[in-house]
Amino acid sequence: MPEGYAIVIVTYNRVQLLRECVAHAEAQTSRPDSIIIVDNASTDDTRAYLEELEKESNIEVISLPQNIGGAGGFVKGMEYALRKNVACILLIDDDAMIGKDYMEKILAARERHPQYRAWAGAVEKEGRIDTFHRRTLLKAGLLSRNVEEKDYGQDWFACDIASFCGMVVDTGLVREIGLPHAGYFICYDDTEYSLRVRRYSRFLVVTDAVLNHRSKAQVQNHPRRYDWKDYYAIRNRLLMVKEHGTVVDEVVNFLDIFVHVIFRNWLFGLIRRDHYDWKYERGLVRAALRDSGKAKPVTGKVSERVYVK
């Protein structure tokens, strides 16, 4: 039986955060068998820092020739971790600072509750629980809601969806359900993967296993204008529902997108809200709708070479 665990960290152009993230990973009271860092073709000082790390025996670096997004990065890292004969894999971005006993608490819960095959801890941001990262599915549409903050007062609870911010997955389960969809690039990659996990197990959330999410809160105007990430959010959401949902789920999702996205942008453009024509937003949504209809669900298997240096 495999024992121990590997940590997969995906990074891109945030060397200062990466330094802190790696320090937290190395300081675990239950030490990892391997720390695998996937560099998404960073252009800052990340490469020089990683060359220093490669001298350490339990740290391995995957240097990608191009940025393939968070989704692609986790695929490469998990693919490599499966070669390590470990029992489970922890997934984090470079802005996730895991508490020193994060994996000790997760592994203890794994022993106490062997019926679960996926786990997660509590995500804190600026001193408070960030409830977005642990979610429960609603009845229709594959829509979900945040687990409420009061539920974190328990020792543990189960949820349906966990983000890649502190997700831990049994390697045997990874071999059964495959790798994340690299083609998603960013957005909904972890939600889609959670739906595959859920066929076999819900996520056991261990509330005293805590990580500090160091992402900065973005100050946004209201109504919010879209950026390139919204293309992936809309396209990937529709692809996910096409792959995992029913006809009813597809209808519910499209109606939700129509009301909150399509109609919104059309109306704002019509009334020239904020003295702006909202043309970019409308074009971005049209592209996402078009591409979701063309794309086929990807397999989760990546045949490209894993670049290890």
CATH number at 55 reads: 3.90.550.60
Domain match, 18 and 164 both: yes
Domain match, 143 and 246 both: no
Give the domain range for residue 70: 5-213
Domain match, 26 and 157 both: yes
Domain match, 48 and 168 both: yes
Q: What is the dihedral of CA 115, 134, 252, 241, to 10 degrees?
A: -60
Amino acid at 193: Y
Tens-place pLDDT, residues 182-211 = 999 999 999 999 999 999 999 999 999 999
Residue 230 burial (CB < 10 Å; 0-12/13-18/19+)? middle
Say if 221 falls within a structural domain.
no
Domain match, 236 and 148 both: no
Tens-place pLDDT, residues 100-114 = 999 999 999 999 999
Rounded-to-integer distance, Cα 266 and Cα 278, Å: 8
Q: What is the mean pLDDT of each run of 10 residues along the chain (309 residues)?
A: 91 96 97 96 94 82 95 97 95 98 98 97 95 94 95 97 98 97 96 97 98 79 90 96 95 94 95 94 94 68 34
Where is the domain boundary, 154, 185, 213? 213
Contact 11, 38 (CB under 8 A): yes
Domain match, 60 and 198 both: yes
**DSSP β-ladder status, 59-63 and 5-11:** unpaired
Which are the contacts of 219, defined by CB distance < 8 A and separation ≥ 6? none
Where is the domain boundary, 185, 213, 241? 213
Domain match, 21 and 133 both: yes
Measured on CA atoms in the order 97, 99, 104, 110, is the torsion positive or negative? negative
Give all strands (DSSP E) within the chain, no chain letters. Answer: 5-11, 34-39, 59-63, 88-93, 96-98, 118-125, 128-129, 134-137, 144-146, 156-159, 161-162, 167-170, 203-213
Which pLDDT does position 58 carry in this prediction?
Answer: 81
Domain match, 235 and 188 both: no
